[in-house]
């Protein structure tokens, strides 16, 4: 029966939760398990199942990362509902009851990814925009997946700090006539879906965002499409003109968004892209000019001379970040 000195780490997404044991900062890969959230009534049930399945009696600490903002030490998963139609709540009390851990930490999933930077092997890092990397300097982690978000990663004398953020909902960068047509198109599309008609970057850079861009690219040539993101990527592999235009738009908007964030946060330690969309689009970034668009001149020469962009291809990065956070004494 497994006991401390292992810790338990978990990464809760909208569809699945991954749970693992960690020894210090290292994930025990054979212990990683994936659970379908729809099969459970809350995080308590998921963790209890894991403890029973793995014959774990107790753990020294537990850290859970959830895809939502942390407030008052808890994450409320509004897209996950229990049997009474209440949102899942992930807090220290629930996690402690299920795991027996005295030390419990609750993080936003992007914060966990930020905690993992510097502890991911080089084989899982793919540089897509070359540039200098200053050891120990601030970094920027950018999530591109079901949603979009970004957060700075600061190394301080008191430990690493990854502040929360919801910047996936900032306005789309718009400079050209096509950009403004895209903004109006997204607003109209969201209105037709009875959603808030705000053209934020998540509406074009997330998984559903690629599909939205494809609809726009089709409309620009008088066509109509309902293709999902996977179908858009398949069409792109066949050099379909509308899919190619979609990839051009995606790459340019991502580059402009990253450039804005770089000037705000000055990540001399590098920009790191995580999530399914970053992995799916990474093979196309060079073709459609991610570096060129990122390094477009502005009044200050920072974007021409500084910063690098790297794709993180590590499925366990959030779990690693949780383990690192616990090992560094993180709580809350």
Please report the domains of the chain, with CATH numbers, ordered by start residue: 7-114+316-327 (3.30.420.40), 122-313 (3.40.367.20)
Q: Give the mean pLDDT of 168-195.
A: 96
* DSSP code, position 39: G
Looking at residue 68, its pLDDT comes to: 80
Q: Give the mean pLDDT of 58-85.
A: 85
189-201 residue pLDDT tens: 999 999 999 999 9
Nearest by Cα to 44 from 32, 29, 62: 62
pTM: 0.91
- If one compares 113 and 84, the residue with the highest pLDDT of the two is 113
49-69 residue pLDDT tens: 999 999 998 898 999 998 888
Looking at residue 67, its pLDDT comes to: 80
**Confidence band, pLDDT 50/70/90 cuts, at residue 81:** confident
Looking at residue 226, its pLDDT comes to: 95
209-251 residue pLDDT tens: 999 999 999 999 999 999 999 999 999 999 999 999 999 999 9
Looking at residue 293, its pLDDT comes to: 97
Burial of 136 (0-12, 13-18, 19+ CB in 10 A): exposed
Nearest by Cα to 316 from 120, 59, 110: 120
Looking at residue 1, its pLDDT comes to: 45
Looking at residue 58, its pLDDT comes to: 85
Lowest mean pLDDT among 62-66, 203-207, 328-332: 328-332
Q: Give the mean pLDDT of 256-284.
A: 97
Lowest mean pLDDT among 74-78, 91-95, 110-114: 74-78
Q: For residues 180 and 175, what is the distance between their CA atoms, to the nearest angstrom?
A: 7
Looking at residue 84, its pLDDT comes to: 82
- Give Cα separations from 72 to 89, 91, 163, 224, 254 (angstroms): 12, 9, 14, 46, 32
**In the predicted model, what is the mean pLDDT of the chain?**
93
**Confidence band, pLDDT 50/70/90 cuts, at residue 286:** very high
Strand runs labelled E in the chain: 7-12, 16-23, 26-27, 33-36, 61-66, 70-71, 74-81, 87-91, 103-108, 125-129, 139-144, 148-156, 159-161, 271-274, 309-312
**Confidence band, pLDDT 50/70/90 cuts, at residue 331:** low
Looking at residue 86, its pLDDT comes to: 84
**Confidence band, pLDDT 50/70/90 cuts, at residue 285:** very high
Lowest mean pLDDT among 43-52, 160-169, 251-260: 160-169
Looking at residue 3, its pLDDT comes to: 47
């Amino acid at each position: 029966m497994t006991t401390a000195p292992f810790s338990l780490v978990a990464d809760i997404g909208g569809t699945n939760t991954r749970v693992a044991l960690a020894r210090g900062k290292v994930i025990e890969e054979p212990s990683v398990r994936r659970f379908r959230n729809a099969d459970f009534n809350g995080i308590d049930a998921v963790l209890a199942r894991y403890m029973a399945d793995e014959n774990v009696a107790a753990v020294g600490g537990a850290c859970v990362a959830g895809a939502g903002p942390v407030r008052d030490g808890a994450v409320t998963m509004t897209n996950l509902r229990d049997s009474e139609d209440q949102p899942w709540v992930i807090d220290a009390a629930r996690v402690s009851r299920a795991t027996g851990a005295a030390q419990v930490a609750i993080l936003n999933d992007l914060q966990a990814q930020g905690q993992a930077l510097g502890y991911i092997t080089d084989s899982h890092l793919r540089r897509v925009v070359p540039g200098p990397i200053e050891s120990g300097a601030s970094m920027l982690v950018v999530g591109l997946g079901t949603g979009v978000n970004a957060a700075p990663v600061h190394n301080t004398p008191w430990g690493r700090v990854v502040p929360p953020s919801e910047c996936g909902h900032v306005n789309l960068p718009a400079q050209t006539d096509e950009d403004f047509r895209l903004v109006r198109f997204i607003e109209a599309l969201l209105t037709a879906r009875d959603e808030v008609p705000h053209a934020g970057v998540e509406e074009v850079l997330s998984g559903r965002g690629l599909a939205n861009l494809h609809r726009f690219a089709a409309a620009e040539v008088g066509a109509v499409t309902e293709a999902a993101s996977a179908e858009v990527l398949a069409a792109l592999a066949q050099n379909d003109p509308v899919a190619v235009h979609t990839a051009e738009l995606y790459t340019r908007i991502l580059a402009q968004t990253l450039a804005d964030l770089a000037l705000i946060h000055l990540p001399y330690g590098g920009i790191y892209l995580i999530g399914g969309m970053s992995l799916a689009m990474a093979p196309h970034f060079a073709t459609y000019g991610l570096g060129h668009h990122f390094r477009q001149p502005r009044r200050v020469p920072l974007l021409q001379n500084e910063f690098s962009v790297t794709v993180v291809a590590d499925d366990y990065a959030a779990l690693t970040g949780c383990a690192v956070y616990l090992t560094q004494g993180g709580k809350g």
